[in-house]
Amino acid sequence: MHATGLFLWPANALPEVRIAGRFPLDQRDFMPVHQSESHAVHVHLYEGKIRLGQEQINLHPGDLTITPAHTPSAYHLPHSGHHFCMHLLPAGGNGLAHAIPMHAPLGALAEHAGEKILTIGRLLSAGGALGAAAASAGALEFMLWLAIQTQRSPHDHPPTRGVLAARKVATILQTRFAEPLYVPDLADEMEMSQNHLARLFRNWYGMTIQRYLLARRIDAARHLLTTSSIPVHRVATRVGIDDRQYFNKQFRRVTGMCPSAYRDQADS
């Protein structure tokens, strides 16, 4: 995994979790500039750029970044998107400090990392001292898990053509999800066979191209349902699903409720 810098985390440092969850982001031209007293851990689900301190980094879906406390950061996203985010107050600690890349592609681990952050957020939202303690314990486990998963080997090599193709397809799915997108057309664009592209993508992202595209469309639908009054059937069309019945079925499968109930819950 490629790293542009290393973030040191003491093995026994129990952090205080400020926030943890999945949040939208729509920022361009590197404005505004963020500078927090807490460490920020992000798993990005979009294509874009981040200025992290004095360095500018290209972001791809599934990338991890860690912004140390008091470090300025800013974004430029061609299209709005979402990321998993966790803010941790700096914690003391003695003993061995583990190094975690400040930027690394997580690939197939990205979805699992996001679920871990959501779990920490749910623990924190339970409230009280017990919820805060459980979230802190979960955050420590998460940071140590990151340290294990992102360890670099002396035999690591730059991304292969296959990995670059998988990441390019993920970017297409993230930014052009409302268009009709089919695996044969994507394979032609990548100049490789359908089976080869499908295998590369699944190996890197841990899911099929179709499932990744559906997840992006449902993400966009969630955003529209909670931030607009657009009728449900038009929401389906806007995210690239013309069949209302199929949209309702897939939305319920992913979220556990129908689109109208999801909107009602957000409004309550």
Domain boundaries, the chain: 6-149, 161-267
Mean pLDDT of 107-128: 91
In sequence order, what are the beta bridge partners of 9?
Answer: 98
CATH architecture of the domain 6-149 equals Sandwich (2.60)
Q: Which string of DSSP letters, residue by residue, matches 101-132?
A: ESEEE-GGGHHHHHHHHHHHHHHHHT-HHHHH
Task: Indicate whether 3 pLDDT > 50.
Answer: no
Q: What is the pTM of this model?
A: 0.76
Least confident of 131-135, 148-152, 206-210, 213-217: 148-152
Q: What is 161-267's CATH topology? A: Arc Repressor Mutant, subunit A (1.10.10)
Q: How many angstroms separate the CA atoms of 165 and 190, rounded?
A: 6
So what's the pLDDT on residue 164?
A: 86
Mean pLDDT of 201-212: 88
H or E segment to which residue 139 belongs: helix 128-149
Q: Name residues whose C-beta falls within 8 Å of residue 199's C-beta, 6 or more positions apart in sequence.
A: none
So what's the pLDDT on residue 2?
A: 40
So what's the pLDDT on residue 156?
A: 56
134-173, pLDDT tens digit by residue?
Answer: 999 999 999 999 988 887 554 456 677 888 898 889 889 9
Mean pLDDT of 50-57: 92
